[in-house]
Amino acid sequence: MEFLDAAAVRRILDPGALVEALRAAFAEPEAAVVPEREHYPIDEALEATLLVMPAWQRGRWLGVKVVGHYPQNRGQGLPGLFGSYLLSSATTGQPVAVLDGTELTRWRTAAASALAADLLAPREVGEHLLIGAGNVAAAIPACYRAVRDVGLTRVWSRTPSGATELVSRLRDEGVNAEVAPDLRAAVRSADVITAATSATSPLVLAQDVQPGTHVDLIGAFTPAMVEADAALITSASLFVDVREALHEAGDLTGPLGDGILQETDVLATLTDLVNGTHAGRSGNDEVTVFKSVGTALEDLVAAGLVWEAHTGA
């Protein structure tokens, strides 16, 4: 059994290939078994949570990801998520590799958002706003390049030094990037907005989002977390990666609990979009919101893709 650390995963993984692999996987969800993820509170004072996410494809791969979510880590200069992924043969159960789950998570999350953007975002993206400057946000531009030509990527973070550092990294990668000093002004000028944070109060307000904008909410994956106000969620065309988002994501559980959002208000899942069951964006002025919580299917696809590229299979 081999161990592929973060550097190895990043070196091997091709963002564009991952977007297409996820497209194929969401087109045939019945090919995999994906139990609901389990959440376990670890330490209330630290707001820490353990997530366990298994999935398997008969005749191919069996995988399980174990993740510790520690949102207060950012105050210590550490990522908020640490994870590991065990990949095994689904035929024999024999383990083949342990992969760095943190690196795997950030790339599969970014690739799923890019896939959704390909189906929901405007064709012309003059400005893409990244809200948050963590590991996931840093992976977004490379994945978006597989589906859109982006004129300018702007970065806003509650920690200005984090935004400055990410902009520097993106420029080194050839991305036209700059710091967004004012969040609300940046929201008003963006064509696409990606929020990748651990926020517990709204950052994206409906009153600031302009007609035709695509809003990508990928950070808030528990009921206690929220990135957009209820006015945006209830007024925009709403899409989710998987139906589990309806009872896991605070952006949705809050309005649902208040009775101002119904489950039927969610227009489609990522599978519906990929398969053409729903046509996606219907007009130039439509505001679309994609709310994702992540799924073990994405981890399984990403881990299998990395391993097969590593072994030349």
Cα separation, 245 vs 222, in Å, equals 9
> Is residue 250 assigned to a domain?
yes
Please provide residue 58's backbone torsions phi and psi, each rounded to the nearest 5 degrees. -60, 130
**Distance of alpha carbon 178 from the chain centroid:** 22
**Distance of alpha carbon 274 from the chain centroid:** 16
> Is residue 48 assigned to a domain?
yes
> Is residue 21 assigned to a domain?
yes
Q: Maximum CA pair distance of the chain? A: 55
- Distance of CA 170 to CAs 115, 149, 150, 158, Å? 20, 15, 13, 18
- Based on the fold, state whether residues 248 and 169 are members of the same structural domain: yes
CATH number for 305: 3.30.1780.10
- Based on the fold, state whether residues 96 and 238 are members of the same structural domain: no
| Residues paired with 153 in a beta bridge | 128, 177
Average pLDDT over residues 300-310: 97
- Based on the fold, state whether residues 52 and 79 are members of the same structural domain: yes
- Based on the fold, state whether residues 43 and 156 are members of the same structural domain: no
Element at 180 (helix H, strand E): none
Q: What is the pLDDT of residues 28-72, one digit of tens each?
A: 989 999 998 898 999 888 889 899 999 999 899 999 999 998 888
Cα separation, 25 vs 95, in Å, equals 22
Cα separation, 167 vs 309, in Å, equals 30
% of the chain at pLDDT higher than 70: 100
Cα separation, 300 vs 237, in Å, equals 29
Q: What is the pLDDT of residues 128-154, one digit of tens each?
A: 999 999 889 999 999 999 999 999 999
> Is residue 233 assigned to a domain?
yes
Q: Which among 116, 101, 119, 122 is positioned nearest to 50, based on CA atoms?
A: 101
Structure-token pair, residue 163: 């935004």
> Is residue 112 assigned to a domain?
no
Average pLDDT over residues 3-19: 97
Between β-strands 150-156 and 125-131, what pairing exists: parallel, antiparallel or unpaired? parallel
- Based on the fold, state whether residues 277 and 249 are members of the same structural domain: yes
> Is residue 109 assigned to a domain?
no
What confidence category does residue 73 fall into, taking pLDDT thresholds of 50, 70 and 90? Answer: confident
Domain count, the chain: 2
Domain containing residue 18: 2-104+297-311
**pLDDT score at 224:** 84
* Residues contacting 231, CB < 8 A, separation 6+: 205, 206, 207
Q: What is the pLDDT of residues 184-229, one digit of tens each?
A: 999 999 999 999 998 999 999 999 999 999 999 998 778 888 999 9
Cα separation, 40 vs 68, in Å, equals 10
Structure-token pair, residue 63: 């995988």
**Residue type at position 164:** T
